[in-house]
Chains A and B, each alone.
Chain A
Amino acid sequence: MKADPFQRVLFTVYIVVFFLYLLGPLAVMGVSAFNTPQYPQVWPIEGVTLDWFAMLFADQDMMTGLRMSIWIGLLVVAISVPIGLAGAIVMTQIQARVRSAYYLVVVSPVLTPGIIIGISTVVFWRQFTGQTGTRFLYDGVVLTVLGQASFISAYCMLIILARLQRFDRAQEEAALDLGATYPQVFRHILLPFLKPALASAAVLAFLSSFENYNTTTFSILSDKTLTTVLAGRVRQGSTPAISALAVIIVAATILGAIAYEVYKRRADAAAARRQRAALAEEEAELSGTPAPAMG
């Protein structure tokens, strides 16, 4: 791109300001997590301490909330990925004339404010469990999983659908012609093909659930997750222990990103090796046999 120097300078300034805005708040938390004053403070640095991390781990409510968040996240994955998969398969099979109505219904949770999903889940299940005598289901964990599953299943469906649209139905027909049963086709052809999409859907589902606040704060009832405990702490006042939590999350993210990058490079390298090997094999075969006559 050829641009005059003035535009270039302007653009560089814009990029720098943009990322200052984006990362500045994180840097602020990063510094205040290690600074000694009681109130989170960046400057002046009065001393370096790890006390705030110790305080964080000693916080019983926070740790209970963390365990609860992980548990709910796993349950959401266990429900949303199968629902998203079914939703995507049905999308490709449903009668054309009702497809847009079906799409509207299942994608609507993505466009609905989170607090409304939380409210409606609580209102419905309070009535439903009351009327059917299944009061034990009216429980913070159950409601939170159901509420979060509404939109997280839709995320999963959209991810899986994107890959499903590239699926070649000829593979399925070939398997059926070779005598496979329907469950076998589903298990041995379709699921392996969708595996990468299922994995990304699972990761996204867990993370969305873990960090959700708007829906959870309504549907959790008297239980507590990490985000609801955190919201309570933040409203009570600012302490550097909260900054310490952010530092841990950012550090975990960077490690996760690096691990993913390494894994992906290795997978790419392995795939490239396999392809090279296959090409070499093919070439050897071709050179071994007489070249086919060109027509």
Chain B
Amino acid sequence: MSGSLAFVLGLPLAVALAFFALAAHERRTGTATGPGFFQRNGLGVGLYLIIAVGFWAFFIILLPQLAMVDMSFRPKLPPAQMGGPKDVYTLENYRYFLFGSTTSTDAWNWLHIKAFLLTIGVSIAITVLNFAICYPLAFHMAQSATAARLRILLLLLILPYWVNEILRAFAFRVLLSSGGIINQMLMGLGLTSEPVDFLGADIGLYMGLSYAYLLMMIFPLYNAIESLDKNQVEAARDLGAPWWHIHAFIVMPHAKPGIASGCTLVFMLTAGALAAPLVLGGPRTLWFTPIVYDRFYQAFNWPQGAAYAFILLVTCIVFVLLVLKAFRLSLGEITR
């Protein structure tokens, strides 16, 4: 494994050298403008910038991700055999995700595949649902609410989000349990004779997930719609455009970056949610993240867990890219 250590230390060094080579090249060819890096910042501040950003980019972001991907292609071995002759690259962990253990008789590993597909499908549905719930309010806040009203609305919106994700999920469990207030009301109204099992049917989980990330949708939408000139909406209205024309052809195209950023955030957070499925999931609930968690701390198979995590990561990246492509945007436009 000494090769990997050389890589860990060598990669940041190589990139740093490449940067200085690029700077020197630009200086020679005259494309660089202004003073050089250390000239501009001074030695002390310059070193601080390089060390802080270098440590962040490599030791906190890139190298851990690479280590996880690397591990996902390795077999599960006892520590003594790591780096030994058995420590070779393998696709075993990915094969397991698709086909299950070699001793099982099923053709496919349906348990995990189903959980994965369900997670992705439900996450997309929740993203769309949250957009539909949040859009009218975001539009109202951005375009027609008075300043005093806006302040109150913002406070009311933010309030639930200081409460931890686990507590929010817990609130839904209290709300929807068989003796909970919703079931009491339904029975009191005579709509049902016995309590509805919201949690067993995963309705609690879906509500909790949608609830947990409402704010991630509403703020990007609000910010994007707010920058739209009110006169444009007025003009369209004066020219006789029906309300849905105004939204479909004026507000939404303008708010595109906000819509994309809200959708990416909600999807990514829902697909990666761990607290809500743990607290609100019924005994038969299938969600992908608890399966990943169990690979590590129930099955103690870290390489397999890494492979599952990588599958989730790739899915999220693909989703972000698809959203960007569909909206014809660049990454910089949605992360503002």
- Contact B42–A211 (Cβ < 8 Å): no
Query: Counting CB contacts under 8 A, is B57 at the interface?
Result: yes
Encoded as 1 (CB less than 8 Å from any A CB) or 0, chain B from 157 to 201 comes to 111101111111111111101011100100000000000000000
Most A CB within 10 A of own CB, among B49, B163, B170, B336: B170
| B170 pairs with A29, CB closer than 8 A | yes
Give the residues from 117 to 133 in chain A that come closer than 8 angstroms, CB to CB, to chain B. 117, 119-121, 123-125, 127-128, 131-132
Binary per-residue interface labels of chain B (17-48) against chain A in the complex, 1 for a CB within 8 Å, 0 otherwise: 00100110010000010000100111111001
CB-CB nearest in chain B for A182: B42
Chain A residues whose CB sits within 8 angstroms of the CB of B155 once the complex forms: 257
Q: Does B127 contact A (CB under 8 A)?
A: no
Say yes or no: is A144 at the interface (Cβ < 8 Å to chain B).
Answer: no
Question: Is A280 an interface position by the 8 A CB rule?
Answer: no
Interface assignment of A242: CB less than 8 Å from any CB of chain B:
yes
A182 with B49, Cβ < 8 A, contacts A14-B136, A249-B167 known: no
Docked complex Cα distance between A100 and B335 (Å): 13
CB contact under 8 A between A246 and B55, given known A103-B331, A186-B41, A230-B164: no
Chain A residues, CB < 8 A from B302: 123
Chain B positions within 8 Å of A254 at CB level: 159
Task: Evaluate contact between A86 and B274: CB separation under 8 angstroms.
Answer: no
- Among B44, B49, B57, the one with the most A-chain Cβ atoms within 10 Å of its Cβ is B57
A75 within 8 Å of B (CB atoms) = no
* B163 and A249 within 8 A (CB): yes
For B159, the closest partner residue in chain A by CB is A253
B166 contact from A11, A43, A230, Cβ within 8 A: A230
Task: Report B-chain residues with C-beta under 8 Å of the C-beta of A127.
Answer: 1, 4, 67
Contacts of B259 in A (CB 8 A): none
Q: Which of B167, B175, B320 has the most CB of A within 10 A?
A: B167
The reply to whether B312 and A43 form a contact with Cβ atoms under 8 Å apart is no
A219 to B194: give the CA distance in the assembly, Å: 43
* Chain A residues near B264 (CB-CB < 8 A): 111
Q: How far is the CB of A181 from chain B (nearest CB, A)?
A: 7
A213 touches B165 (CB 8 A): yes
Give B234's nearest chain A residue, CB to CB. Answer: A1
Residue of chain A at shortest CB distance from B2: A131
| Contacting residues, chain B, for A125 (C-beta < 8 A) | 64
- Is B156 interfacial (CB-CB < 8 Å)? yes
The distance from the CB of A205 to the nearest CB of chain B, in whole angstroms, is: 14
Contact between chains at B335 and A22 (CB < 8 Å): no
Of residues 94 through 143 on chain A, the ones whose CB sits less than 8 Å from some CB of chain B are: 95, 97-98, 100, 102-117, 119-121, 123-125, 127-128, 131-132
Q: Is A5 an interface residue (CB 8 A)?
A: no
Tell me, in angstroms, the Cα distance from A127 to B41 when the chains sit together.
Answer: 36
How many positions in chain A have a CB within 8 Å of any CB in the partner chain?
A: 90
Pair A124/B160 contact, Cβ less than 8 Å: no
B22 in complex: contacting residue of A98, A121, A181, A257, CB < 8 Å: A98
Are the C-beta atoms of A106 and B165 separated by less than 8 Å? no
Q: Restricting to B32-87, which residues have a CB under 8 Å from any CB of A?
A: 32, 37, 40-45, 48-49, 52-53, 55-57, 59-68, 71
The answer to whether A29 touches B61, judged by C-beta atoms less than 8 angstroms apart, is no
Residues of A within 8 A of B292 (CB): 115, 119
When the two chains form their complex, are residues A107 and B331 in contact, meaning their CB atoms are under 8 A apart? yes
| A207 interface residue (CB < 8 Å to B) | yes
- Identify the interface centre among A106, A115, A218, A242: most chain B CB within 10 Å of its CB: A115
Whether A250 is near chain B, meaning CB under 8 Å from some CB there, is: yes
A164 contacts B by Cβ under 8 Å: no
Contacting B5 at CB < 8 Å: which of A89, A132, A213? Answer: A132
Closest to A146 in B: B60
Write out the residue numbers on chain A whose beta carbons fall within 8 Å of the beta carbon of B170.
29, 234, 238, 242-243, 246
Q: Cβ of A11: which chain B residues have Cβ within 8 Å of it? A: 136, 140
Q: Chain A residues with Cβ under 8 A from B26's Cβ?
A: 95
Check if A95 sits within 8 Å of B214, measured CB to CB. no
Nearest-CB residue, chain A, relative to B151: A261
From A124, A217, A234, residue with most partner B Cβ within 10 Å? A124
How close is A22's CB to chain B, nearest CB, in angstroms? 6
Residues of A within 8 A of B (CB): 1, 11, 14-15, 18-19, 21-26, 28-29, 32, 39-43, 82-83, 85-87, 89-90, 93, 95, 97-98, 100, 102-117, 119-121, 123-125, 127-128, 131-132, 146, 149-150, 153, 158, 181-183, 185-186, 207, 211, 213-214, 217-218, 227, 230-231, 234-235, 238, 242-243, 245-246, 249-250, 252-254, 257
Which residues on B are within 8 Å of A, measured CB to CB?
A: 1-2, 4-5, 8, 19, 22-23, 26, 32, 37, 40-45, 48-49, 52-53, 55-57, 59-68, 71, 133, 136-137, 140, 143-144, 155-160, 162-175, 177, 179-181, 184, 211, 214, 264-265, 268-269, 271-275, 278-279, 289, 292-293, 296, 302, 305-306, 309-310, 312-313, 316, 320, 330-332, 335-336
Instruction: Please name the 3 residue pairs, one residue from A and one from B, whose CB atoms are nearest each other, closest first.
Output: A113-B272, A182-B42, A25-B171
